Structure 1
């Protein structure tokens, strides 16, 4: 048993009187996870869920406590994100399990009770989420702000109100006065494995490894039989684009060797199926047949999402899935997004049907 594990066990024992109900729940969770693992081995299944990468069992055991505090602070929809934060911060192997000490103005690892760390961490996340909602920001900005602090919310509020990796990088660069450090993490392979010496500009991408964009909008591909493309073609389309779920957005990208932007993803995937779709979102909008009653596989268009273009210009495209979801390559990454609320609803421009 290593030193950290020993300290965790000792601290949990010391806190038993204070948190005995929560600790009983955690013990039961460990037991259920072990039983589930046996059944999964027998059944031959895998440990991953739809749209969510595997979270370590030691972290999953804290889910009852995480759920309690997510409910307490009014952000139950962020439960999976909180578990992902634990994975990214400590993988559940440190006493300050969410690295929450700094959010309280304390030196790192000052907190020595994992439950107090979860309490403080979830409270901090809830505060940046609430601030982001008041400012009309997107889903991912407050998650990056968990790492940077609320100042990042303000920065996004003044720069388009939507998270992008470029803005995250620029913010970190400004705070670090341009000082770079090596960052040997596969998540940064596309960016020469460096980061700026302030926070972690890849934080959203790190979280998305464990909570993919699917989790913010559902995990299936809608009513296959209702697709305007036909069920077989639509299934082939979604099978192709799903290969890139969780990949980062790459401006100008139009193939798997480089990555994808929004219209690059739709052009590439439709062209594989024999559809002659042009390159840009605006060109694809002109190429498709406008429809008022969209079906799965139609395209959905948005305007005014690029500050360098006129407000009424078509600047974004996704694949319509159902009345709430689309699959698209956005600055938050490739995956499912809710198109009928928040930022996307504000910029909605219409639907288009792809024909040969």
Structure 2
């Protein structure tokens, strides 16, 4: 048994009198993990992939799953684990930094289970508020850091998270005051942040999330070699910011710009915009890795029926795209994207 397991085990033991029912549940949960193996680690349908977290956080996964189910946010289990990584890395007793959500001073909570309970309950409240207002998957993640006022701000400004909205919200509440922020996620933006919350919070969470590889390359209609070349290219920009109108690495990428650039390197003459790519691609009902997945009504300045977003189909729940949350893996079949799904297309020479 490693040091982390012993440390957490002792912490749990210290809380046993207060939480004996929960401790029994934890034990049962760990038993289920050992029985089901990888199935428990791949996350609920519709999540953003397996969380890349350390052992000090991973050991709390059964507790997170319990409360995520209780508060009806099971699709966010991996995100919650990533939030825990951002907040404490699994160190300390207020493991999700939940004290302030209860109206208490920071680190008032001295019980990790209570911290997870309060943290997931608070997160659930901002998720449900976001869902009731038709917001996207990532807005409530930023609201975990900012508070639910950010949900209202996004509701009034297009209903979809973007780094620009997160920055503007923080700037407004900080009255423009900035502080130095020496974190790699801020390298592209001059290593500063506004002095209210953390406008990079979604990016910080996303760095601990990954989808399950690139799908079944052998099943790709492009051919395994071409598909792997496509994914190798787009993965170079994983975690980068979304840039409206961007179509090359020196500027950055928007959704269709990323796809046009990568496909052209492989000899495909893909047009520029999502709508043009939709018209160019051959419609398919049974998508394969490397096909395109299209969405409509994501730009409020265009008709609701217009195709306005595109990603690369990876598997039955995952796509790779550039959206306002950045470049990386997203779930195409649920939440915001599921509501705007428009169909699949295949690129041919």
Q: Deviations over 1:239-290 (max 9, x none)?
A: 332343333323333334443221121012111111122333344344x144
In the alignment, what sits opposite 1:98?
96
User: Which of 264, 285, 294 is equivalent to 1:293?
Assistant: 285
The 1-side partners of 2:173 and 2:103 are apart by 18
Change (3 A) 1:116 1:233: same
**How far apart, CA to CA, are the structure 1 residues paired with 2:327 and 2:79?**
17
CA distance in 2, matches of 1:80, 1:124: 16
Which residue pairs with 1:40 in the alignment?
Answer: none
Of residues 54, 57, 61, the one that matches 1:56 is: 54
Map Cα deviations across residues 271-330 of structure 1 (whole Å, 9 max, x no partner): 1111122333344344x1442435322323334323344545443222234554432111
The alignment's C-alpha RMSD in Å is 3.1
User: What TM-score results when the alignment is normalised by the length of structure 1?
Assistant: 0.80
Higher alpha-carbon deviation: 250-259 or 152-161: 250-259
Query: 1:11, 1:313 → 2: CA distance?
Result: 54
> Which residue of 178, 203, 206 maps to 1:205?
203
1:114 Cα deviation (Å)? 1.7
What SS does the corresponding residue of 2:19 show, helix, strand or coil? helix
Q: Does 1:195 align with 2:193?
A: yes
Preserved contact between residue 278 and residue 294 of structure 2 (Cα < 8 Å): yes
Structure 2 vs 1, CA of residues 311 and 72 (structure 1 numbering), >3 Å: closer, same or farther? Answer: closer
Contact 1:52-1:209 within 8 A present in 2 as well: no
Q: 1:22 to 1:351 in 2, by over 3 A?
A: closer
Q: 1:338 offset after TM fit, Å?
A: 3.1
Residue aligning to 2:19: 19
Does residue 1:260 correspond to 2:260, yes or no?
A: no
Distance change in 2, residues 1:280/1:175 (3 Å): same
CA distance in 2, matches of 1:237, 1:246: 17
| Distance in 2 between residues matched to 1:78 and 1:304, nearest whole Å | 24
**Residue 240 (1) aligns with residue 233 (2):** yes
Question: Contact between 1:303 and 1:314, CA under 8 Å: does it hold in 2?
Answer: yes
TM-score (norm 2): 0.82
Q: 1:115 to 1:277 in 2, by over 3 A?
A: same
Summarize the Cα distance change of 1:282–1:181 in structure 2 as closer, same or farther, 3 Å threshold.
same
What is the aligned partner in structure 1 of residue 162 from structure 2? 164
User: Unaligned 5+ residue runs, structure 1?
Assistant: 1-6, 37-49
Match runs of 1:65-80 below 5 Å: 65-80=63-78
Would you say how many aligned residue pairs link Structure 1 and Structure 2? 327
Answer yes or no: is the 8 Å Cα contact 1:324–1:338 preserved in 2: yes
